[in-house]
Chains A and B, each alone.
Chain A
Amino acid sequence: MERTGFLLPMTVTEKIIARHAGRDAVAPGELVNVRCDVVLGNDITAPLAIAEFERTGAARVFDPDRVVLVNDHFVPNKDIKSAEQAKTVRDFARAQGLTHFYDVGNMGVEHCLLPEQGLVGPGDLVIGADSHTCTYGGIGAFASGVGSTDLAAAMALGETWLKVPESVKFVYHGRPGPFVGGKDLILYTIGTIGVDGALYRAMEFTGEAIAALSVEGRLTMCNMAVEAGAKNGIVAPDDTTRRWARERCQRPDGYLASDPDAVYARVYEFDVAGLEPQVAFPHLPSNVRPVREAADVRIDQAVIGSCTNGRIEDLRLAAGVLAGHRVHRDVRLIVIPGTPAVYRQAMDEGLVAVFLAAGAAVSTPTCGPCLGGHMGILARGERAVATTNRNFVGRMGHPESEVYLANPAVAAASAVLGRLADPREVVSDAH
């Protein structure tokens, strides 16, 4: 497609990095200094970054329009210490006059919020002090997680250094069946390549199944690229991206594609035509099998939300399964819309009414239970099915609790039946 201005065949990841390094070409392994379109922090990582920023001696952030801070992890404040951390971020955002500071009321789960608000767009280069920053690859951006010190330096300079990653191409042939989406594709992929299967590399998703996938589904896939060790995940922009970006993005002009002769470290080809809903068993996101092969796994809690699956499409899927059903008496179902706009839309479409009628608790947006923060912590021996991204030991609470990762339809069906379940067990008229 577009090679204008570039000298060598490159992948979409390499092109975005080259553009932000002011170079005609970059090659994997090169260390380059790049300009950042957006730098991001949250109430856990920003307080450390703010302290480090102040130690650099810098007085002002490089651009108050491009430093985005979101209080989303432990807010509404779960305890006094969390309140202090949120306040540190709030005070800094006010003192620096940040345009895009989000707090209780307008706050959403950061990786649902930034794309929705149009703060990131195709072709952007984004670093964020949150490992799931890689989500924005779903709209064709290069986005990668860093720590607080790197965030501090980038807040001061608007730049960071990167090693250009090798790219790995994942081609998905065929169209999967009902109740199989981006979450299942990425779980299946991580189950195949392992939690370090793409270590330090760019995961580029392409093929028929990706072309058919919504932007939301692509965001879900790129979100979990880090669970395979990747530096970033990316879907090169296409017409779906264009339609989506035109409505929202402030900079919808970075439509770069991989050249046909671009070099990949490896190419995986998957036939996903008959793929079934997938579940990652404790305690690794790679411990994946089809939900139908799960034996009688009883659950105590189901969580639908997070930066992986907290978007309107996810809530529609869950509501579609829950409609006309009640949550099993032994299960607590917690639904967490990713942003205030998602919440409003879910109300307008009647989804919240479906959740409440089913016996679910509907929460204000927060990362909360995903990382064992608050709003749904597990006791010793308890099991949860969650639409989140990690199922490490102790991730959602007690070290002897368990988390099973799945898509929103599986989580909803499991909540109804009280055990891991295929949505087709609850929704009989699916075709």
Chain B
Amino acid sequence: MPIEGRAWCFGDNLDTDGIIPARYLNTSDPRELAAHAMEDADPTFAAGVSPGDVVVAGRNCGCGSSREHAPLALKAAGVGAVIAPSFARIFYRNSFNIGLPILECAEAAAGIEAGDRVRVDLESGLIVNLTKGREYRAQPVPPFMQRIIACGGLINYVRERMEGKDKT
């Protein structure tokens, strides 16, 4: 199912302290984290973000700490996908593990402006800027990683597979 929403734009090296400041890491409740998502990077984000909105960032997105709270906060805030030219490796892995889709696409990251309406199709990797009438192609998300997203994260995916094994 395509993801559709407004774009929230950020620069290069968006770090995990910017996504969820450590002062809120005394909880791992996704709703509490969502209330402070992006607080130091864009204080208007948490109140303004709507389900399906897309975060569009610059190079090395998600750099810094290994806190899984960062993708959790974005997902719980309703973010449908994150698009950037490149990602820090721990953030990339954490995002898929908790079921937040990530797309590497420099053209989309450069062409999308804050407030543009964006549609993302994980299966094909097609990103459409509905406001500007432009299309960009990211690498499609491989089927097993789409399945991780559909399950809501790696652990659910593992459970689904283990249950499948039990039945056979």
Task: Report A's interface with B, CB cutoff 8 A.
Answer: 44-45, 47-48, 51-52, 55-57, 73-74, 78-79, 81-82, 85, 128-131, 133, 145-150, 152-153, 195-196, 199-200, 226, 229, 231, 284, 371-373, 390, 392-395, 399
A179 vs B69: C-alpha distance in the bound complex, in angstroms?
38
Contacts of B18 in A (CB 8 A): 392-394
Q: Contact at B66–A372, with CB atoms within 8 Å?
A: no
Task: Report the minimum CB–CB distance from A242 to chain B (whole Å).
Answer: 30
Q: Of B13, B67, B90, which one neighbours A195 at CB under 8 angstroms?
A: B13
Contacts of A129 in B (CB 8 A): 66, 68
**Given A149-B97, A149-B98; A82-B60 close (CB under 8 Å):** no
Q: Contact at A372–B21, with CB atoms within 8 Å?
A: yes
Q: Contact at A393–B40, with CB atoms within 8 Å?
A: yes
* B44, CB-defined interface residue at 8 Å: no
A392 vs B19: C-alpha distance in the bound complex, in angstroms?
11
A52 vs B156: C-alpha distance in the bound complex, in angstroms?
9
Q: Contact at A147–B158, with CB atoms within 8 Å?
A: no
Task: Report the minimum CB–CB distance from B5 to chain A (whole Å).
Answer: 25
* B122, CB-defined interface residue at 8 Å: no
Contacts of A399 in B (CB 8 A): 21, 39-40
**Shortest Cβ-Cβ A-B pairs, 8 listed:** A147-B94, A81-B26, A196-B60, A149-B97, A147-B68, A371-B22, A394-B40, A131-B66
Contacts of B159 in A (CB 8 A): 55-57
Q: Of B66, B97, B156, which one neighbours A45 at CB under 8 angstroms?
A: B66
Contacts of A146 in B (CB 8 A): 66, 90, 93-94
Q: Contact at A199–B86, with CB atoms within 8 Å?
A: yes
A47 vs B25: C-alpha distance in the bound complex, in angstroms?
11
Q: Contact at B64–A392, with CB atoms within 8 Å?
A: yes
Closest to A201 in B: B89
* B59, CB-defined interface residue at 8 Å: yes
Task: Report the minimum CB–CB distance from A229 to chain B (whole Å).
Answer: 6
A to B CB contacts below 8 Å, 28 in the list: A44-B25, A44-B67, A45-B67, A48-B69, A78-B26, A129-B66, A129-B68, A131-B64, A145-B66, A146-B90, A146-B93, A147-B68, A147-B90, A147-B93, A147-B97, A149-B98, A150-B97, A153-B158, A195-B13, A199-B88, A226-B90, A373-B25, A393-B17, A393-B18, A394-B18, A394-B21, A394-B40, A399-B40
